[in-house]
Amino acid sequence: MQFEEAKNKFVQTWGALGSQWGINKTMAQIHALLMVSKEPVSMEDIMQELQISRGNASMNLRGLMDWGIVYKANKPGERREFFVAEKDLDELATKIAKERSKREIKPALKVLKEVSAVDADNSEEAQHFIAQTKKLYDFVSSADEMIDKVTEYKDNWLGKLMMKILR
Amino acid sequence: MQFEEAKNKFVQTWGALGSQWGINKTMAQIHALLMVSKEPVSMEDIMQELQISRGNASMNLRGLMDWGIVYKANKPGERREFFVAEKDLDELATKIAKERSKREIKPALKVLKEVSAVDADNSEEAQHFIAQTKKLYDFVSSADEMIDKVTEYKDNWLGKLMMKILR
DNA sequence: AATAACTTTCAATTATTTTTGAAAGTTTAA
DNA sequence: TTAAACTTTCAAAAATAATTGAAAGTTATT
């Protein structure tokens, strides 16, 4: 396979995968493109390579920057802006995990706590509802904490050992 | 909050969350409904509670069964079919993880391996592409393996200890 | 073997999400 | 301060995804 072909295939695949994970296709493609680009890329180039409009490029780049996984980069002597992706994968995973936790898990936990505090009338249905939503709360909140811990532990020897054993 | 209100809020929230994770809203809602229902639920009741059509209910139930997280249940003496959700959360997480691995991670890994085997011409760009996609392959494949291991380890003492420490 | 009770399928419709592109906004340089 | 170079915004259009509902398909009952 030739370089351009491979690059294209990678970008397309990553985009399709993004859709399945609730990320819009273009955003995932831009991210993929930046991930494999050595040099910062201009908006013009992104539009060109992905065949998308200026507005689309602009909005999705903004989205990626909100996630904290793409940055602006200035090339000396150049007027326009260039973009680079966070390329360190541990760092990337950490940022995505933290952000999803903040945006989705935390609010979901709030709702779980609320609904599991429903007035316990004596119906079996209500009892079961309470038990089940409580279990769900515990489960989701320890999964959430665990992700925090795993990202922290990456830096110390015990954590690294665990990662070794686990994988 | 009253039971019906709480139940409704839970179902709605879970549905909205589903959308953000690439699962269609109705599928997530049906699953939520079944999760908190003590007794098996008929298709009629699902349609009623979620205000959806028969076809919609049928297709999404099929989808949930394909994921292996909802089963058919027969009530003695009843003609029609009833449905129950997998309610054990460890089991649920394991099934989802395994299925996503099969459907999405494995095919993505295949593509990563392919594209990282691109003809190494001497351009810096191509070199970087190869390095980056290789790293990505390693990262994704160890994350994938780790998930496997975590679900296995749940059953033995060492695993349980680790889970304790991690959380 | 006919009918009733129920489920699945799928083409057409409806709803949601994404994309476009041109106008408005911003920043730099002369 | 003006103009050129560039970016953002957002209403309208296009693309995609979900939903409906009725016909076709199944399975159990008489």
Quick: pLDDT tens for B10-43.
999 999 999 999 999 999 999 999 999 999 999 9
- Note whether B36 contacts A104, CB cutoff 8 Å: no
Q: Which of residues 90-149 of B touch A (CB under 8 A)?
A: 93, 104, 108, 111-112, 114-115, 117-119, 121, 123-126, 128-129, 132-133, 135-136, 139, 142-143, 145-146, 149
Q: Are B45 and B59 found together in one domain?
A: yes
Q: Are A100 and A37 found together in one domain?
A: no
Q: Are A82 and A73 in contact (CB under 8 A)?
A: yes
Q: Are B131 and B147 found together in one domain?
A: yes
Determine contact: A16 vs chain B, CB below 8 A: no
Q: Are B77 and B9 found together in one domain?
A: yes
Backbone angles phi, psi at B108, to 5 degrees: -65, -40
pLDDT at B99: 95
Q: How sure is the predictor about B76, in pLDDT bands with cuts at 50, 70 and 90?
A: confident
**Mean pLDDT throughout A76-94?**
93
Q: Are B22 and B62 found together in one domain?
A: yes
Highest mean pLDDT among A112-121, B97-106, B155-164: B97-106
- Note whether B35 contacts A108, CB cutoff 8 Å: no
Proximity of residue A80 CB to strand D below 7 A:
yes
Nearest residue of B to residue A163 by CA position? B146
Q: What is the mean pLDDT of chain A?
A: 91
In this structure, how many other beta carbons lie within 10 angstroms of the beta carbon of residue A142? 14
Q: What CATH number is given to the structural domain containing A36?
A: 1.10.10.10
Q: 3-class DSSP state for residue B158?
A: helix
pLDDT at A109: 97
B35-68: pLDDT as tens digits: 999 999 999 999 999 999 999 999 999 999 999 9
Residue A88, burial from CB neighbour count under 10 angstroms (0-12, 13-18, 19+) = exposed
pLDDT at B163: 66
pLDDT at B121: 80
**C-alpha count within 13 angstroms, C-beta hemisphere, residue B10:** 31
**Residues ≥6 apart with Cβ < 8 Å to B40:** B73, B75, B82, B83, B84
Q: How sure is the predictor about A160, in pLDDT bands with cuts at 50, 70 and 90?
A: low
- Report how far residue B107's alpha carbon sits from residue B145's, in angstroms, rounded to the nearest whole number: 15
**Mean pLDDT throughout A79-103?**
94
Q: Are A8 and A71 found together in one domain?
A: yes
A30-42: pLDDT as tens digits: 999 999 999 999 9
**Amino acid B128 CA to nucleotide D12 C1' distance, rounded Å:** 41
Backbone angles phi, psi at A72, to 5 degrees: -80, 145
- From chain B, the residues in CB contact with A136 under 8 A are 35, 89
**Mean pLDDT throughout A69-86?**
94
**Residues ≥6 apart with Cβ < 8 Å to A117:** B1
Q: Domain boundary at A70, A85, A100, which?
A: A85
Q: Are B62 and B23 found together in one domain?
A: yes
Residue whose CA is minimally distant from D28 C1': B79
**Mean pLDDT throughout B136-155?**
85
% residues pLDDT > 90 (chain A): 77
Q: Are B63 and B137 found together in one domain?
A: no
Q: 3-class DSSP state for residue B119?
A: coil
Q: Are A111 and A149 found together in one domain?
A: yes
In this structure, the protein residues whose CB atom falls closer than 7 angstroms to any atom of nucleic acid strand C are A 24-27, 51-56, 59-60, 79; B 19, 42-44, 54-55, 58-59, 61-62, 78-81
* Count of the separate structural domains present in chain A: 2
Proximity of residue A54 CB to strand D below 7 A:
yes
- Report how far residue B73's alpha carbon sits from residue A147's, in angstroms, rounded to the nearest whole number: 35
- From chain A, the residues in CB contact with B87 under 8 A are 132
Whether residue B90 has pLDDT greater than 70: yes
**Amino acid A8 CA to nucleotide C18 C1' distance, rounded Å:** 21
Q: Which of residues 33-62 of A touch B (CB under 8 A)?
A: 35-38
**Mean pLDDT throughout B95-118?**
95
Whether residue B122 has pLDDT greater than 80: no
- From chain B, the residues in CB contact with A19 under 8 A are 22
Whether residue A90 has pLDDT greater than 80: yes
Q: Are B69 and B112 found together in one domain?
A: no
Structural domain of residue B142, as residue ranges?
A: 89-166
Q: How sure is the predictor about B158, in pLDDT bands with cuts at 50, 70 and 90?
A: low
